[in-house]
Amino acid sequence: MRDVWVAGAAMTRVGRRSERLQDLMAEAAHGALRSAGLDAPDAIVVAAMNPEEFVGDGNFASNAAAHLGFAQAPALRVETATSSGAAAFYAGFALLAAGLRRAVLVVGGEKMTHLATPRVSELIGRSLDPYERSYGATMPALAALVTRALMARGVGARELAQVAVKNHANALRNPYAHFRRAVTPEEVLESRMVADPLRLLHCCPISDGAAAVVLTADRAGVRVAGIGQGSDTLALRHRQILTSFRATQAAAAEAFAMAGFGPERVDVAELHDAFAPFELISLEDLGLVPPGKAGRVTLDGETALDGRLPVNPSGGLKARGHPLAATGLAQIVECVWQLTGRAEGRQTQARVALAQSIGGLATNNWVTLLEAA
């Protein structure tokens, strides 16, 4: 397997955007190519979770490639629900690791805010098991089942709230974030109940945005040290354990095995906090903190920007925002910026960064490890 390098990274500001999805992707893609000093890639991997329904366009690899000005570059689309961006990164990595290509553009994006919230929830919910959906289960509903089980194991309301408080505080320093405002623990605890015990400020927003990276066979500032994929049953009821995600554990095991080092080497992490409790679950699934300690560690400030292990310096899905297929790549863009000293205003001292992306209700998860050259 050949070494693969991240030569360029860029993203759009996340939030409510008026541009078309293809224009958001172009902004990110052209930015990534510029930062890599590359005129044209020799292949493109596109991530979009559901452009057919969100914007009404299909054949989307060709659609996006042509819009970007690369109609003659080979393009393919990758989709694994909410982790599509991370999956596309893997596909690009594999093309280079196998020696099939020398410079690959990976771009992901989603445009959702032009639709009404119930419609967006329904479309995202289609990634869930059809039987559970027939009982009204949505992503927040199943996340709420997970959260209640987590709280029964001793995770407190303050610990959950602190995840949101921390990530909003980080987003305040990130010009690309959807929410640039701080929240207090009280605001989180008093926010509207969405799916008991999950409240509005435990949940990520509906966002538009795009992110892109350029992967090359030629040495650049950041090396892909390891990638892992993990999966689990589509139906939540087919699992015996709710409070940890097998898909994350399997992805982490694969990624760390490829990298040849363990979680103790990770200096900064971008985790999939679509719901605040997922950050706590993920910290433990990834082996970044001992089992049962994620809440305590968070309350103690160890995962804050100035803590031992900064988690979600970008603000995470919670506050940077969650433009579905852009998210996995936006996490990687943030990691690249952290490793190359370009995370102005929220810079950490890091040599190894970890990005974790959750697809569906943890059915198809990814862990990506990046190392400064």
Partner 1 sequence: MIEAIEASRCPACRAIVAPPASYCPRHPVAMEPVSLPGAGEIVSFTTLHAPPAGFRAPLHIALIELEGGARFVCHGADTRGLRIGSRVAIEAVDSVYYFSHLGAVDRARLFWHRAGRAGDRVSAIARSLAKRVFKGRARASS
Binding residues for partner 1, per CB under 8 A? Answer: 117-118, 121-122, 125, 131-132, 135-138, 140-141, 144-146, 148-149, 152, 192-198, 233-240, 242
User: Which one, 244 or 348, has the nearer CB to partner 1?
Assistant: 244
User: Which one, 32 or 195, has the nearer CB to partner 1?
Assistant: 195
User: Which one, 150 or 311, has the nearer CB to partner 1?
Assistant: 150
The most distant pair of C-alpha atoms in the chain lies apart, rounded to whole Å, by 56
Strand duo 43-47 + 103-110: pairing: parallel
Q: How far is the CB of 190 from partner 1 (least distance, A)?
A: 15
Closest residue by Cα to residue 36 from 347, 333, 353: 333
Which residues 6+ apart lie within 8 Å of 122 measured at CB? 138
Question: Are the beta carbons of 127 and 81 closer than 8 angstroms?
Answer: yes
User: Which one, 243 or 314, has the nearer CB to partner 1?
Assistant: 243
Burial annotation 289-314 (CB, 10 A radius, 16+ → b, else e): beeeebbbbbbeebbbbeeebbbbbb
Q: How far is the CB of 16 from partner 1 (least distance, A)?
A: 19
User: Which one, 132 or 371, has the nearer CB to partner 1?
Assistant: 132
User: Which one, 50 or 138, has the nearer CB to partner 1?
Assistant: 138
Angle CA 326–352–322, to nearest 5 = 20
Q: How far is the CB of 365 from partner 1 (least distance, A)?
A: 17
What distance in Å separates the CA atoms of residue 131 and residue 286, rounded to the nearest whole number?
Answer: 30
Q: Where are the beta strands (DSSP E) in 79-167?
A: 103-110
Q: How far is the CB of 247 from partner 1 (least distance, A)?
A: 13
User: Which one, 111 or 246, has the nearer CB to partner 1?
Assistant: 246
Closest residue by Cα to residue 154 from 292, 290, 258, 34: 292
Burial annotation 109-128 (CB, 10 A radius, 16+ → b, else e): bbbbbebeeeebeebbbebb
What distance in Å separates the CA atoms of residue 310 and residue 8, rounded to the nearest whole number?
Answer: 23
What distance in Å separates the CA atoms of residue 211 and residue 156, rounded to the nearest whole number?
Answer: 34
Q: Which residue has the tokens 């919230």?
A: 117
Q: Output the six-digit token pair for 63.
A: 């659609």
Closest residue by Cα to residue 8 from 228, 213, 230: 213
Q: How far is the CB of 328 from partner 1 (least distance, A)?
A: 25
- 3-state secondary structure at position 163: helix
Q: How far is the CB of 193 from partner 1 (least distance, A)?
A: 5
User: Which one, 23 or 53, has the nearer CB to partner 1?
Assistant: 53
Q: How far is the CB of 205 from partner 1 (least distance, A)?
A: 14
Q: How far is the CB of 201 from partner 1 (least distance, A)?
A: 14
User: Which one, 340 or 363, has the nearer CB to partner 1?
Assistant: 363
Q: How far is the CB of 195 from partner 1 (least distance, A)?
A: 5
Partners of 78 in beta bridges: 47
